Chains A and B, each alone.
Chain A
């Protein structure tokens, strides 16, 4: 994953211990006990605020029906795998939902990265007249309100027979993933100096070869980051799935909302589904943490 040509700024260096000279650190980080206590308090409060809900969810998924809804919160309880077992057995087996989620998220992320990489490279190297307007149009499609997009898309999908199909869901996810991928990859490619391709061209490569064999390998970090973020966005989608998914294409977030039934909400199973939905995305997201800033600001912030 080393990318020597990648400008150092494209990485988020903030996570590493800064190598700034001691004097600057002294000023910035402060040495008085008071300020150290203040920092500790802020961070402790932040961690509590952040982690308590997640920990409570994971704990809940291992609790029995009585423990998960006990009036007095229970920290000590006899753990059970009952909730997870119930999710995968019986009338509402979660396996197809899981499969639909995986297929829809992975395929739409993959397609977005492939098409978005080509277009992103094109955008970063293009010298066309209305480039600004094109860029603006691309970013504005990413930011269009989901609720506004769903209506006409539904009518279009309905005519094309894409309602309640995985391809339909994938296509729907591409409405937000594709512009995101184009824009982000374009930002990553902009960090690669054009002189690199020029020297490849001089060495006898075609433009395609220069892109494929020189530029792409240099942009692996960008590719992976874009893929992971597209994956997270589509995996977590709820709005599109409520309208476009049916019995053949229900996804995990829909399964979670369906656990609200007449005999009450099964919080044990719900926290278990929550854990299943959250865990893979946390792992994937943290795996690309160094490039997250660039990714989530669509290349606007590079840490420089």
Chain B
């Protein structure tokens, strides 16, 4: 019998993912590997609310977390800085489990690959996270540290809200179907992770990750 140690920690997460970054609409990282931001860097804030999930026997449903990251160039070129915030409502076991998963230690894509691109990683930081997972008006915030608010794209012709999706029928690397919008607010000020990007790329999706 083959024993695979990577399967020791079996996990799966199905989550609301609220994503904002410094790219213009479309986010080059999703397709071409390179961010289409003005500076060529990638700076992103991602909010997650676990719909259903587990690490081994431990249930992770209902937990909220925020992931902040910045890379000087394209993600795959590395040298990234990251921070993981977990909501105070999570139990101590859940916090440990999410930290193990999100730091790539339990394996599984895409987190393991993302984790490999960081040179600095802080967390888990326990804090109060406010989050709204409504599809086109999703938002999350941590008092005095960060805030994200998404709004739908508005048609310049009719002024109506547009229903824009990016889909990966064969499976995307973060998610398969994203509702694309605009960042009404997006900023963070936490130690050496500091940025603000308003009116840029935003996506709301259901992410299904696991190992």
- The judgment on whether A and B are partners is no
